[in-house]
Structure 1
Amino acid sequence: MAKCDICGTKVHFLDTRCTDCMEKRNQEILAKRNKPDESEARQEAEQATLDLTVTTAQSIENQRVTKTIDIVTAECVFGMNIFRDLFAGMSDFFGGRNKSSQKVLRDARVTCLNELRKEAVAIGGNAVIAVDLDYSEFSGGGKSMLFLVASGTAVVIEPLESVVE
């Protein structure tokens, strides 16, 4: 006769665990499956951060600033590769829009604003107001870099209470 690996009770010679221990283990596995893991919680927190209000205005409609926290900034540098530079030169010569350069600008803006949101959340804000975006280009030696700085004021906002007449 064999013994259970966990509690030591007698089990069938082909089994390694008794019925009670197997049932307990199955319940632990089910509880783990039903419990959200850390990665899900992290994804929810990241989504909440991305939903944070960011505006160039000094205020947000139907919201009241209850606390001004601090200035937040985010800096992003993007490289323009040789092919983008080549196509940009062709667009300059022939005219028209340069989609590859527009994509770099869009990606830089989205990335920088998301970084700004993360900075605000890290210091306790739930919105960023008075956002300013400054674009610059560094070039030389056959290399071209796009530099974007986003700055704003991290604040805590809450909805205005409706006035009952």
Structure 2
Amino acid sequence: MASCSVCGKELGLFGGNRGMCQECFLESVGTSSPDQVKQRKLEHAQLNAAIEAIMLTTEAYPQGISITKRIEVVTAECAFGMHIFKDLFASVRDIVGGRSEAVQNTLRDARRTTLYELKKEAYEVGANAVVGVDLDYVELSAVGTMVILVASGTAVTIEEA
């Protein structure tokens, strides 16, 4: 079976476009070579690694780590809508009891996205950690249901002793 010339992923039964998987092909639009796509993917992976290296914690930190600079308060907000079917199934769960997997998945996605955005905000101001993180959930239900999640914390630089 053939594999992608950029990332090495198996192409499957129907092959791919120009010897690339769907993801790499879409990234290649507007570029002239697979090498440019590889370079762009490498740069994107390095940026994500730098953002993900930021540690989320409380103000209490373990021995051997000290805060060298408090930069500023950073926040991130995400609004997630729950369509009519999620609302319907959540309403049924309200009546008969039990857990609503659809609502739990929406809240989980909102939390992950918001925390990633918080880490990105901290990275952009030169921090390598966020301390005192607080998550606030708000439900708006004028038409349908909208869940808004706000994360805030203090962007800091830390140093290992």
Please indicate the TM-score interval, normalised by the length of the shorter structure: 0.7 to 0.9
| 1:107 to partner: Cα distance | 0.3
Residue 95 of structure 1: aligned partner: 97
User: Structure 2 matches for 1:24-103, cutoff 5 A?
Assistant: 37-55=39-57, 57-61=58-62, 62-103=64-105
Residue 8 of structure 1: aligned partner: none
Question: If you compute each CA radius of gyration, which structure gives the higher value, 1 or 2?
Answer: 1
| 1:45 to partner: Cα distance | 1.4
Gaps of 5+ in 1: 1-31, 161-165
Give the structure-1-normalised TM-score. Answer: 0.72
| 1:59 to partner: Cα distance | 3.1
| 1:60 to partner: Cα distance | 2.1
Pick which of 126-135 and 46-55 moved more.
46-55
Deviations 1:101-141 (A, max 9, x none): 00000000000000000000000000000000000000113
Q: State the number of aligned residues.
A: 125
1:131 aligns with 2:102: no
Separation in 2, partners of 1:129, 1:117: 11
Separation in 1, partners of 2:145, 2:132: 29
Separation in 2, partners of 1:50, 1:94: 40
Runs of 4+ displaced beyond 6 Å? none
Q: Is the 8 A contact 2:66 2:159 kept in 1?
A: yes
Query: What is the RMSD computed on CA atoms of the aligned residues?
Result: 1.5
Give the structure-2-normalised TM-score. Answer: 0.74
Gaps of 5+ in 2: 1-33
